[in-house]
């Protein structure tokens, strides 16, 4: 994702790439990571030093659950607006980021998924959840994804639950002959199943069950390019924010996703 984001920003006519950070690549020209011409931008291992020296407007983070929280805090303290696609932060960490962004009056976008189709999938699932209380989510990702369930699956379950009102899912009798066979129950009977396999990119099915019928809403990202229009949109929108927003739908759909 970092390499794909570098390419997207480099090609964008209204956004300027001014720095790159990677603690593992060594101090090389960013063009090497993009498989393009020499850019004159040297990749540096120290985020804090890059932000202090270059003083960019925005930091885009696609790193790991172990480092993302500290990266965001470093950026906000220096007045740099984070656009974050890394998932795996705890609820306490997200709340702290929200408080810091509000205190520093600095815009921040944290999005579990930047694919426009995935946002529509969540929007449609939230609407369907008003009429189909029984639902399970299957999310499928490549074998290098380290956190489970995905942020997209968690966000989808949250939106469905918010829109349910007084609906209660029909209780299903579960006898697991193999622990975990029924997935993880997130809230109010919404179960999430995580699949990790080589050959996959990012896929999710939301399956609703009702009397004599089922409804399946599915989204597939076949390449990382699918996330780039959303990343660039968030970069443009974050300049107008003075607080943290969670989920790209908050800046795409007027008023967010109605629930």
| Catalytic positions | 141, 145
Tell how strand 20-21 and strand 134-141 pair up: unpaired
- Token output for 231: 């990343």
> How many C-beta atoms lie closer than 10 Å to residue 44's C-beta?
18
Task: Give SS3 for 120.
Answer: helix
In terms of DSSP H, where are the helices of the chain?
A: 2-11, 30-34, 47-54, 68-77, 91-104, 116-128, 151-163, 228-238, 249-252
Whether the Cβ atoms of residue 10 and residue 36 lie closer than 8 Å to each other? yes
Going from the C-alpha of 35 to that of each of 31, 39, 144, 227, the distances in angstroms are 6, 11, 22, 19
- Token output for 123: 């929007």
Nearest-angstrom CA–CA distance, 185 and 257: 23
Task: Give SS3 for 193.
Answer: strand
């Amino acid at each position: 994702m970092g390499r794909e984001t570098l390419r997207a920003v480099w090609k964008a006519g209204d956004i300027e790439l001014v720095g790159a950070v990677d603690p593992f690549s060594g101090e090389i020209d960013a063009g090497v990571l993009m498989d393009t011409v020499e850019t004159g931008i040297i990749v540096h291992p120290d985020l804090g030093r890059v932000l202090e020296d270059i003083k960019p407007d925005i930091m885009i983070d696609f790193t790991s659950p172990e480092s993302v929280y500290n990266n965001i805090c470093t950026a906000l303290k220096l007045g740099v607006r984070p656009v974050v696609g890394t998932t795996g932060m705890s609820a306490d960490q997200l709340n702290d980021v929200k408080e810091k962004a509000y205190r520093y009056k600095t815009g921040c976008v944290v999005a579990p998924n930047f694919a426009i189709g995935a946002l529509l999938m969540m929007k449609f699932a939230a609407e369907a959840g008003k009429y189909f209380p029984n639902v399970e989510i299957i999310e499928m990702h490549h074998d290098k994804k380290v956190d489970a369930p995905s942020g997209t699956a968690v966000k989808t379950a949250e939106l469905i639950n918010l829109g349910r009102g007084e609906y209660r899912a029909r209780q299903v009798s579960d006898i697991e002959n193999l622990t975990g066979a029924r997935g993880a129950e997130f809230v109010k009977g919404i179960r999430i199943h995580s699949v990790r396999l080589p050959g996959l990119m990012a896929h999710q099915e939301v399956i609703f069950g009702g009397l004599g019928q089922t409804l399946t809403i599915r989204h597939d990202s076949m390449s990382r390019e699918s996330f780039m229009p959303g990343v660039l949109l968030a970069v443009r929108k974050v300049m107008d924010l003075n607080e943290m927003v969670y989920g790209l739908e908050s800046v795409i759909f007027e008023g967010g996703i109605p629930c």
